Amino acid sequence: MYAIVEIAGQQFKVEQDRFIYTHRLAGDEGAALVFDKVLLVDNDGAIQVGAPTVEGASISGKILAHVRGEKVIVFKKKRRKGYQKQNGHRQDLTKVLIEAIKF
């Protein structure tokens, strides 16, 4: 059984007892979360598609940790001008354990 849920403006495929990395969410480690923007639920082949969301469906989860992603290097250069600029970025992420899918 899996579901497609919208979290912080992005869509994720979630399954029970799995974890996902999302953009930083408000809350402390160990805090419980409920996501109610469920777009699709697949229960062993029985698919429910929402318009835009599935009525009465929710995803419950728990914040495991606040982490940072891998470093992404941004390098800009203009040829023959002597212009070079290097910048790095690490995205703040939240590791969320999906505990239950209710519909």
Q: Is the pLDDT of residue 3 over 90?
A: yes
- pLDDT bracket for residue 80 (50, 70, 90): very high
pTM for the whole structure: 0.83
Tens of pLDDT along 12-58?
A: 999 999 999 999 999 999 999 999 999 999 998 899 998 999 999 99
Tell me which residue range forms the domain holding 20.
2-102
56-to-21, 27, 52, 82, 103 alpha-carbon distances in Å:
25, 24, 12, 59, 6
**42-51, 64-73, 75-84: least confidently modelled range:** 42-51
CA geometry: angle 56, 34, 21, nearest 5 deg: 125
Q: How many domains does the structure of the chain reveal? A: 1
Decide if 41 contacts 3 (C-beta within 8 A).
yes
Write down the pLDDT at residue 103.
Answer: 84
